[in-house]
Amino acid sequence: MKKKAFVFCLIGAMALGTCPVSAEDGTREISAAFRDIKIIVDGKQLSTPAEPFIYNGTTYLPVRAVGEAVGKEVAWDNDTKTVTLTTPPPTIEADRDTIGNLDFELSVTPSGKKERTEILRVNEKYENGSTSYSLYYYGLSDVSITIDGQTLPLAQALQEGKLTPQDIRRKGWQDLENKEIRGGAYRDGGSVDYLYGDFTIIKFNTLDGLRDFYIGIPEMELNALEKQYYPYSRYISIEEVIKHYTYLVTSTENDPELKDSLFEEGLAIMQEVAKRDHVSDEELQAAIQKYQEMCGR
């Protein structure tokens, strides 16, 4: 058990680049051999913030630096003392001066789960600029596309350049005009969704210019999805948050708990919007003070 606890601590230390000192973590001093160990990845030497070492015949490497060098996303969960390495979805670059009128059909397999899965990151280049996308399946286990009689996974078709998310959006407009789909709607000043007979394509025009595509089953509620994954995208600025929540707080009568809850909710959203818009700490503190004064706090 002592050895297991020690190795666990060591992995956490490598992920963070720090050395734990708490006895509660099972930390103890060791004798390690530092022998100028080099790490070569694809023929290139890797520079790491922590020097590799040898202990009891095993070579220990900084997991974050090595993981990221081989294309993994590395995360450290301090609560569970867990290092997680995941393979990011593939990214494609597409040069599209014009968008063709593609004829295709999508078929989906519901998973029965209310969750999203990122399957592709897309950078499209057009005459009027570049656009970045992420493509998600929501509540689906598979999405296939049929183009010119060939059926293949949608992610593969996108990755091979057979079409782009913009093509899907264009076809959505065409099918809407031809009354082949149930309808389309703009939400929150820019989001648009196209409702087909057996699935829904949703395109978010987020404030930072990135656009995320969701393909999901019809039972999915757009507002619920936005609330879960884009709770702050509807706010244009901190000033708008202040205005909205000041009204909610000051118009709530005879319910101190609700007033406090609304005030704290507004404060949390202000901080998230500030993070989204890279607002300085000084500007954020000034905005918080204004918010407190307007709410009578």
- Tens of pLDDT, residues 206-265: 544 456 778 887 666 666 666 666 566 566 688 888 998 999 899 988 888 899 999 998
> What pLDDT score was predicted for residue 267?
92
Place of tokens 């996308």: 133
Q: Among the listed ranges 88-102, 149-163, 233-247, 255-269, which one has the minimum average pLDDT value?
A: 88-102
For residue 34, give Cα distances in angstroms to 11, 19, 29, 161: 17, 16, 15, 48
Residue 19: its pLDDT value, please?
Answer: 38
Q: Is the pLDDT of residue 14 over 50?
A: no
Ordered by start, the domain boundaries in the chain are: 2-86, 91-229, 238-294
60-69, 190-199, 231-240: the lowest-pLDDT one: 190-199
What does the mean pLDDT of the chain come to? 75
pLDDT at 190 exceeding the cut of 60: no
pLDDT band, very low/low/confident/very high, at 95 (cuts 50, 70, 90)? low
Confidence check: pLDDT of 289 > 90: yes
Sheet holding 150-153, edge to edge: 104-110, 140-147, 150-153
What is the pLDDT averaged over residues 284-294? 94
Confidence check: pLDDT of 110 > 90: no
> When comparing pLDDT for 109 and 122, which is higher?
109
Question: CA angle, corner 123, sides to 121 and 129, nearest 5?
Answer: 155
Longest dimension (CA), the chain: 74
pTM to 2 decimal places: 0.52
Per-residue pLDDT band for 292 (boundaries 50, 70, 90) equals very high
Q: Is the pLDDT reported for residue 5 higher than 50?
A: no
Residue whose C-alpha is closest to residue 262's, from 287, 244, 237: 244
Mean pLDDT of 32-53: 87
13 compared with 248, residue with greater pLDDT: 248
Question: Comparing 165 with 21, which gets the higher pLDDT?
Answer: 165
What distance in Å separates the CA atoms of residue 35 and residue 98, rounded to the nearest whole number?
57
pLDDT class of 186 with cuts at 50, 70, 90 = very low
Which of 140-144, 156-160, 210-214, 281-285 is the least confident region? 210-214
Checking if the pLDDT of 294 tops 90, the result is yes
Reported as a pLDDT band with limits 50, 70 and 90, residue 6 is: very low
Could you tell me which of 210, 255, 251 has the C-alpha nearest to residue 229?
210
Half-sphere exposure of 112 (CA within 13 A, CB side): 0
Cα–Cα distance for residue pair 108/143, rounded to 1 Å: 4
Over residues 154-162, the mean pLDDT reads 86
